[in-house]
């Protein structure tokens, strides 16, 4: 019964989630923005998931007004295809390794992840968290050894957090901001600053929106002094204006 509950929790976190007042103004955003965006603006209808999934839905004509991605790759591709207006970088982030609070595998540095038998979960290479993780591992020179221990590849960062917090894996690579909500259940293993890839979040108005006033209002709130303060409090870095 407990295993079933764990499975349900993981699946629920892996799927796109919708929150908000249920109005017609819709914001698609990377899963790592789940906690902070509703604090910046309460009224939009949010859908949080992997940036690649959300970008694909926009390409397929989903009724969305604003798109916020955890990587410039997706906003820039949509922009060059005329599907969104010019993107704006609004936040940065860093990677961290999380392990269960009890740390059963005895992991103390990222290099310990090379040991045989360590169970690691990472993001699928198609999503930003997976791409960033592979870039970092390549920079550290331990990519092949660590990937050999990967037991699961998740479609968004929240699924990685869930699996580690629930003890389904010995370690996982997530954004530092995603480790905060589960601080009582995980330990953080910090990564060398010199190996951190540049992680930039971009936001853009979807070209087909008929709700330009609401989109502009949301963008203004996100880029305002209050919006930047809330992002900073959530652990995000802030690009220079």
Element containing residue 217 per DSSP (H, E)? helix 212-223
User: Looking at the predicted structure, is the pLDDT value of residue 14 above 90?
Assistant: no
Q: How far apart are CA 169 and CA 150, in angstroms?
A: 9
The two structure tokens encoding residue 55: 């970008």
Q: For 117-164, write each residue's pLDDT tens digit.
A: 999 999 999 999 999 999 999 999 999 999 999 999 999 999 999 999
The answer to whether the predicted template modeling score (pTM) of the entire model surpasses 0.75 is yes
The dihedral of CA 182, 184, 185, 191: what is its sign? positive
Write out the two tokens for 43. 């009224």
Every domain of the chain and the residues it spans = 2-92+200-233, 95-195
pLDDT in tens, 89-129: 999 999 999 999 999 999 999 999 999 999 999 999 999 99
The H or E element that residue 58 is part of is helix 51-59
For residue 170, what pLDDT is reported? 97
**CATH T-level fold of 2-92+200-233:** D-Maltodextrin-Binding Protein; domain 2 (3.40.190)
Task: Specify the length of the chain in residues.
Answer: 241
pLDDT band at residue 23 using 50, 70 and 90 as cut-offs = low
CA atoms within 13 A on the CB side of 177: 25
Provide the token pair at 18: 């919708």
Cα–Cα nearest to 51, from 227, 235, 241, 199: 199
Gap between the Cα atoms of 155 and 160, Å rounded:
9
Residue 11: its pLDDT value, please?
Answer: 38
- For the domain made up of 95-195, give the CATH fold: D-Maltodextrin-Binding Protein; domain 2 (3.40.190)
pLDDT at position 21 is 43
């Amino acid at each position: 019964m407990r295993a079933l509950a764990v499975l349900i929790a993981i699946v629920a976190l892996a799927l796109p989630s919708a929150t908000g007042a249920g109005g017609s103004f819709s914001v698609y955003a990377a899963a790592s923005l789940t906690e902070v965006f509703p604090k910046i603006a309460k009224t939009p209808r949010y859908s949080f998931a992997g940036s690649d999934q959300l970008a694909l839905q926009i390409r397929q004509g989903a009724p969305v007004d604003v798109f916020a991605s955890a990587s410039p790759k997706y906003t820039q591709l949509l922009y060059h295809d005329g599907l969104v207006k010019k993107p704006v970088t609004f936040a940065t982030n860093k990677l961290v390794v999380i392990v269960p609070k009890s740390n059963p595998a005895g992991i103390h540095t990222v290099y310990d992840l090379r040991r045989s038998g360590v169970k690691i979960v990472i993001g699928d290479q198609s999503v930003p968290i997976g791409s960033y993780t592979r870039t970092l591992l390549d920079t550290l020179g331990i990519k092949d050894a660590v990937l050999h221990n990967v037991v699961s590849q998740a479609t968004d960062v929240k699924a990685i957090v869930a699996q580690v917090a629930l003890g389904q894996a010995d370690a996982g690579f997530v954004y530092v901001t995603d480790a905060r909500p589960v601080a009582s259940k995980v330990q953080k293993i910090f990564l060398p600053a010199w190996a951190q890839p540049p992680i930039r979040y971009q936001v853009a108005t979807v070209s087909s929106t008929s709700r330009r006033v609401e989109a502009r209002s949301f963008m203004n709130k996100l880029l305002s002094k209050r919006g930047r303060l809330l992002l900073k409090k959530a652990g995000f870095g802030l690009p220079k204006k």
